[in-house]
Structure 1
Amino acid sequence: MNMMSKHTQQAADRLYQFLQQHAPIAVITGAGISTASGIPDYRDQQGQWKRKQPVQHPDFMRCHLTRQRYWARSLIGWPTLRNAKPNVAHHQLARLSHSPLVSGVITQNVDRLHQKADTLNTIDLHGRADQIICMGCARQRPRQWMHDRCSQDNPSFLNFSATVAPDGDADLEVDFSQFQVPSCEDCGGILKTDVVFFGDNVPRERVDACRDVIRQSRALLVIGSSLMVYSGYRFARQCLENDQSIALLGFGKNRADDIATLKIEADISETLQCINH
């Protein structure tokens, strides 16, 4: 057994022991669990942004140019998110969700890869990128519908290439002023991806559902998230207040470092793959 595999097996053994001792466990996942599926993450190992912050909700709602920029970049970035497949970590967590060890999964991701892997009791904390919603009449449509509309109305933008960014974005910087953004066919309202943008709030009923999952658990496992965003960190604080143990799996700085019971710095996919039950 080489040093890497020995380290991974030790990490898996520690994690499995935590699962057994504290089951049932609530799980929070972040971007780090999906990078092996080809979806970039937001932050480096120090918890700092790797690129400019994503679009802000107030800017998207009040500024037409911001919406032009968002949908033009999404024209390039969305196919990567749409075509992504669950990786080993998703499948292994799905397997655990079918056992008494895991009570539910709260994901900060919007890629729906947990659902594609058949993970039970998954809550999309920040929404889902495969849907759009009208901010006027609240009608929902498939994201692909919007992608097709934008493609038809803006064929020249299909010629651009750019590095794919998280959540179906792309690092494209061109003149966006001529980009045609479709409006709602029913009411003429603003169409937006059905996710919680920065500067917006997670719906109260969704937060309450997450709190219930944690209340019904004995501990929390955080996988691939730095918890730098308060929408996820609040659940670690809830566990602290309830004297529930917290385990962290992933590399780098974590906002919950000082309150965690266990921190395992190891490859996520390899570690989960080594867990047998």
Structure 2
Amino acid sequence: MTSIEPQALDPDAIDRAAALLRGRRTAVLTGAGISTDSGIPAYRGAGAPPRVSPMTIQTYLSDEAARRRYWMGGHLGYRRFASPDPNGGHRALAALEHNGDVTGVITQNVDGLHLRAGSRRVVELHGTMHRVRCLDCGQVFDRRAISAQIDELNPWIAVPENVVLNPDGDVTPESADGFVIPPCTVCGGMLKPEVVYFGEFVPTGRFRLSEALVHGSDALLVAGTSLTVNSGIRVIERARRRGMPLVIVNHEPTRADRWADAVVSGGTTPVLTGIARALGAL
């Protein structure tokens, strides 16, 4: 296995990483680390905000107070992170796809930045924060429309003094006591952001799309994920069964480093940009 340290990101080192991908149709798996340069904090790793516990689907469905707190915190976060710009890492992958080097992107992210960067074939494993679905009738809504309803139903949250945050960035239970979650405008049912929560499975059809992308490729490039979530490991397992070369780009060690043919320790923006240049995509 070739290991490339951050300080070794010279043209020769980039070429060694790119050599494994050159001439191969490459599928890409990305995680939160690719979006940090766009101002979206990673959930894990160095620099990530401390978190008490994630929202599980069981808690979301059964605990109304937790659901209010989740929606209030999610609404405040969405207003902040709804429109960041794609960064150089996103753009490098889009360029590689347009150049014929990349077959598509499988992402664990819900921010939609790969699509905004110009990637055409994107499998959003964990869904998207830009849509909301009714759990009763299945109607899908644009998140911006739901956000407008939330602002109308909860005008008081526009006053900073009315919102108190925990150290993990979540709102306190007291702050969310009076928060009103809009119901489905079609049937009055419960709304949920169209993202996969802890305790939920990636929809079968969506994972099959990721499998099809891997099966139609000759190599796998992993960028910006520690692979803590099992959905990412499942993608790598599919690639390993096919004997595909594996290149990993991440700031920190991952669960799959021992299987990789090359590990590049560094930021996704400079590394992916360097790979794209070495392959003639930029």
TM-score, length basis structure 1 = 0.90
- Map 1:170-209 → 2, pairs under 5 A: 170-175=169-174, 176-209=176-209
Is the partner of 1:147 in helix, strand or coil? Answer: helix
Matched, 1:17 2:19: yes
**1:39: which partner in 2?**
40
**Alpha-carbon offset, residue 162 of structure 1:** 7.2
**Alpha-carbon offset, residue 14 of structure 1:** 2.5
CA distance in 2, matches of 1:101, 1:234: 23
Runs of 4+ in structure 1 over 4 Å off: 3-6, 161-165
**2:59: which partner in 1?**
59
Query: Gaps spanning 5+ residues in structure 1: where?
Result: none
CA distance in 2, matches of 1:187, 1:11: 57
CA distance in 1, matches of 2:248, 2:7: 20
1:218 and 1:163, CA in 2 relative to 1: closer, same or farther beyond 3 A?
farther
Which one-letter code corresponds to 1:130 in the other structure? H
**2:142: which partner in 1?**
142
CA distance in 2, matches of 1:149, 1:170: 23
Residues 94-137 of structure 1: CA deviation (Å, up to 9, x unaligned):
00011221111101000000000110211111111100000000
TM-score, length basis structure 2 = 0.89
CA distance in 1, matches of 2:183, 2:258: 47
Is the partner of 2:197 in helix, strand or coil? Answer: coil
CA distance in 2, matches of 1:10, 1:267: 17
CA distance in 2, matches of 1:109, 1:10: 31
CA distance in 2, matches of 1:221, 1:40: 22
**Alpha-carbon offset, residue 253 of structure 1:** 2.0
CA distance in 2, matches of 1:113, 1:215: 24
Query: Gaps spanning 5+ residues in structure 2: where?
Result: none
CA distance in 1, matches of 2:261, 2:248: 8
Question: Comparing 48-57 with 137-146, which one deviates more in the overlay?
Answer: 48-57
- Contact 1:133/1:193, CA 8 A, preserved across alignment: yes
- Contact 1:55/1:70, CA 8 A, preserved across alignment: yes
- Contact 1:11/1:271, CA 8 A, preserved across alignment: no
Residues 147-177 of structure 1: CA deviation (Å, up to 9, x unaligned):
1111111111222367899xxx953225122
